[in-house]
A = this chain, B = another copy of it.
Amino acid sequence: MNLKEYLLENNKNLEYEMSMYFKELSYPQVISEGMEYAVLNGGKRIRPNLLLLTLDILGKEKEMGFPTAIGIEMIHSYSLVHDDLPALDNDDYRRGKLTTHKKFGEAQGILIGDSLLTHAFYILTKKNKRYLSPDKIIHIVEKTADYAGINGMIGGQTIDIESEGKKIDLKTLKYIHSHKTGQLLKLPVECGCIIGDATYSQYEALQKYAELLGLAFQIKDDILDVEGDFEKLGKPIGSDTNAEKSTYPSIIGMVESKKLLNKTIEDAKKTILIEFEEDKAQLMLELADYIKDRDK
């Protein structure tokens, strides 16, 4: 099975499971519909797949990771809903569809985001009990709250907002990316290590891979914002430039950005191959190339 088939199959299963979770929620309708709209939005599902890939490479059953994978995806979705709000990025479209607050109203957008974040923790406990020991569940909840909060994603998002219109140095840009995007890409890999009983050296290799992948993901995002295609991205090109955001191309130039992207991807692949055999690692290697070559 190649990566494309693998993602397609996983996403089908993940979205089926998600829709089962959403069936349990009905009232108020605007919130349950809004939550589903925000999550079932045709996203690439990189984060949940990273968790499933981690279980695969550790030789463990993927199904054990479903609730955690979905909880993390809900947190990712809430962060997009709140990022798009008028007081933050003020975006009307995401992946070619109206953003959640444009579709359901601004007050509702705030509450739909709050609701997704809160419900993620319900899923992480309630739905994980079938598969995981209490100690593992607590470890996952603690790590999720840590990586998604002030020390993680929200920290990065805050500095990102405060840096708009300012010249920032590479150190600040790295802080923003490693927190705003990086922490929530590391989280599923680390949760996969908890669920799948990774050894310490497996954990170290996988964590490093996830960090490099996060960095590559962000460099590629910055490149696409300059060279991408509106039709494929589903959002306007040049929005970073218009918002006077510092990016890799704006700080180190486009040529260096592409070099750095290639090197980061090669490093990520090497890291995995030190610890795992090539045939077992195949999908993770393909994912790294996919991050580099994606056009959306």
Contacts and interface: CB of A to CB of B under 8 A. Distances in A.
A82 B114 contact: yes
A33 B22 CA distance: 36
A108 interface: yes
A154 B25 CA distance: 12
Contacts of A138: 125, 129, 134, 137-138
Nearest to A120: B145
A111 B145 contact: no
Nearest to A141: B125
B150 A115 contact: yes
A263 interface: no
B162 A28 contact: yes
Given A134-B134, A138-B134, A150-B25, A145 B118 contact: yes
A110 B85 CA distance: 9
Contact of A141 (B27, B121, B146, B158): B121
Majority SS at the chain A contact face? helix
Given A88-B107, A108-B158, A111-B157, A125 B145 contact: yes
Q: How many copies does the complex hold?
A: 2
A150 B116 CA distance: 9
A32 interface: yes
Contacts of A114: 78, 82, 113-114, 117, 154
A260 interface: no
A244 to B, nearest CB: 15
Given A108-B158, A125-B145, A134-B134, A150 B31 contact: yes
B28 A159 contact: yes
A119 interface: yes
A109 to B, nearest CB: 8
Contact of A107 (B87, B107, B126, B148): B87
Interface of A: 25, 27-28, 30-32, 35, 78, 82, 85, 87-88, 106-111, 113-115, 117-122, 124-126, 129, 133-135, 137-138, 141-142, 144-146, 148-151, 154-155, 157-159, 161-162
11 contacts: A28-B155, A30-B162, A78-B114, A113-B114, A117-B118, A118-B148, A119-B145, A122-B149, A125-B142, A134-B134, A141-B141
